[in-house]
Structure 1
């Protein structure tokens, strides 16, 4: 599938899905959310592909949502007339975007995230939908939405606690602070840390090769069974957070975050 955001490369039974917007630090514009369903389903249906690696072109994995471009897709976020006719289509759009990450979790084949540099906001949402996460030593992670006056509504609040536990997830959500690769490994956000991006890619491929050594039907069935334990919980949480997100926008804090970003200064939040 052709995409304006993803680049797919296949080598043998391993496919690499590159976040391919390096000039913008792979910030997630509308194609990042819309194209992913087709990209990952196509790989899931490809009989030659057995393992998928997700990585970012350039020095950073993902700088999160491209707020300026996403507002073009979600003008309801800043619409002062927050009546039912505005809220209802916003809810549908949020669920469409959620599906763009849930597809990674629900396809049959294992997905490994290889993270270098910054992994912020939507990038963290994405890797939490992957089965396994690896990082380079320079990787940093931030659940960033609270810093821009939003609630994280793409699945990280549902998936991250299952990976790192409630205490760490709440600390990351409430502070929006960055944690480094070493801390990420300590809290089980990533399985292993590699010296640099080159070693990371080699490590991701080595792990993929290990998975290829197992029976594919057993690997896929294992993923299905592991997902079965959490699917209903995540689906309910996604519906709930979409409704909550729609209820708290627009806010003065969100508008201040957009203004501050354009003016390249720290936002001054008022809680309104």
Structure 2
């Protein structure tokens, strides 16, 4: 029996599949998505029968990003127009907690492969940058969407994505909120490989996971530790800085406008205030 609300776990030793399992909402990340991740990846990281993990999405795509409307109830500070120091302090702690949802994937002892089909937007892109390897199908679409809704991306993508694709591509995505195709994603090294369709993607991800599982688990896990050690300080410092920056610019007229536009199903009119 699955013990999680947002995630569906399937163990087929030596591989575990972690599915984002909210297909009716395009796997948009609601409160359980953020609350359950640490337990999921800690449990799998400590499971001696599991040597590799595949993260994939159920339904039409990988993840449509944060479920802003459901998260507003969990983080009322986002919409408080008269924030004082105490409110900012509470918001900062909540951002740290959200960051942990992504960091726990990077910290997981077992290698994690992201298998991406369809939309991989916002928080979905955050998530896959914390994975060790990223694979995609031709229909995969990537977008760092926060600039389109009045946020600075604050849970890890701005720290991890430059290590994968470089500063120029990261800044292009962060400043424009544009979509990137799977072929382009492979060209800039966001994806290791592109498959013809989602079925071929899942087969390819399983094949790679089995290749990993066939190697010495001690050597594989030690390699992940060494690789993480090489980037850990810069990522950790960056996460603390962006949490502070995000707290400083929230709330804003742009954020209120983004929420109103979403509700009214229209394009937002941002003023930079």
Residue matched to 1:43: 44
Residue matched to 2:245: 244
Residue matched to 1:206: 207
Residue matched to 1:23: 24
SS in structure 2 of the partner of residue 229 of structure 1: helix
Instruction: Measure the CA separation in 1 of the matches of 2:225 and 2:246.
Output: 29
| Pairing of 1:4-23 with structure 2 (within 5 A) | 4-23=5-24
Residue matched to 2:186: 185
Residue matched to 1:134: 135
Tell me by how many angstroms 1:85 deviates: 1.3
Q: Encode CA deviations 1:114-151: one digit per residue, 9 max, x unaligned.
A: 00000000000000000000000000000000000100
Tell me by how many angstroms 1:3 deviates: 1.4
Instruction: Measure the CA separation in 2 of the matches of 1:142 and 1:77.
Output: 22
Does residue 157 of structure 2 align to residue 156 of structure 1?
yes
Instruction: Measure the CA separation in 2 of the matches of 1:73 and 1:35.
Output: 15
Instruction: Measure the CA separation in 2 of the matches of 1:92 and 1:143.
Output: 23
Instruction: Measure the CA separation in 2 of the matches of 1:140 and 1:53.
Output: 19
Instruction: Measure the CA separation in 1 of the matches of 2:14 and 2:212.
Output: 11
Does residue 265 of structure 2 align to residue 264 of structure 1?
yes
In the alignment, is the contact (CA less than 8 A) between 2:46 and 2:109 conserved in 1? no
Gaps of 5+ in 1: none
Q: Encode CA deviations 1:164-196: one digit per residue, 9 max, x unaligned.
A: 000000000000000000000000000000010
Tell me by how many angstroms 1:12 deviates: 1.7
Instruction: Measure the CA separation in 2 of the matches of 1:210 and 1:13.
Output: 11
In the alignment, is the contact (CA less than 8 A) between 2:96 and 2:243 conserved in 1? yes
In the alignment, is the contact (CA less than 8 A) between 2:13 and 2:49 conserved in 1? yes
Residue matched to 1:2: 3
SS in structure 2 of the partner of residue 112 of structure 1: strand
- Taking structure 1 as the reference length, the TM-score comes to 0.99
Residue matched to 1:113: 114
Runs of 4+ in 1 over 6 A off after TM superposition: none
- Taking structure 2 as the reference length, the TM-score comes to 0.99
Tell me by how many angstroms 1:59 deviates: 1.1
Instruction: Measure the CA separation in 2 of the matches of 1:125 and 1:206.
Output: 24
Instruction: Measure the CA separation in 2 of the matches of 1:41 and 1:109.
Output: 10
Residue matched to 2:63: 62
Tell me by how many angstroms 1:213 deviates: 1.6
Q: Encode CA deviations 1:93-132: one digit per residue, 9 max, x unaligned.
A: 1101100110000111100000000000000000000000
User: C-alpha root-mean-square deviation of aligned residues, in Å?
Assistant: 0.7
Residue matched to 1:143: 144
Count of residues paired in the alignment: 272
